[in-house]
Amino acid sequence: MDLRKRLGAAPSEKVKVVAQEIGGQKVVRATHLKHVPLGQLDKRLEGVVAVAPQPVLIGAVDKSRAGAILGGVPEPVASEDEVKAFVTTLLETDRIAFDSKAARYGIAGKKRDARMRLPTHVIHKEGKAKVLRRVRFA
C-alpha cells in the first residue's frame, strides 16, 4: 500500500508518523501535511499556502504485521475545497493580516464599521515558503 499515493501527497510534502495505543491496540498515526495553494482566491495570497493535516490510523491485521488502514482516508480534493472555502470566509471578514503592522495592531473595519479587528490569521515566511497561520481565535 502506498499511503502517499492514496493521500495525494507530493514527494516534497511531509508525512509525520507517530506510534500510539488506542484501546490496547498498537497503531500508527500517519499525518500528511497537505499544502493548499491560495493564490487563485486573492492576488494578495499569491505564493501563499495553507497547511491542512490529513490523519490516517494504521493498525496490524494479524500477527503477520501486515498493515491496514483503520477508518476512512481523507479525500485530497475535499480537503483542498474545505481549506479554500474557509480562507474565502477569512477574506470576506477581513481576518487575514497581510503585513506585520496589521498583525500586531488590528485591521481597520469598513467605513460603516469603524471597529478595529484583530486578525485571526497572518502570513508567515517559513524558509522560502509563505504559509497562512492562525495566530488567535476571534
Contact 26, 19 (CB under 8 A): yes
pTM of the model: 0.78
Q: pLDDT band at residue 109, thresholds of 50, 70 and 90? A: low
Q: Provide the mean pLDDT of the chain.
A: 84
The torsion angles phi and psi of 114, rounded to 5 degrees, stand at -85, 5
Identity of residue 47: G
Q: Is the pLDDT of residue 6 over 60?
A: yes
Predicted local confidence at residue 117, as pLDDT: 72
Residue-wise pLDDT tens digits, 81-91: 999 999 999 99
Beta bridge partners of 92: none
Contact 68, 61 (CB under 8 A): yes
Element at 102 (helix H, strand E) = helix 100-105
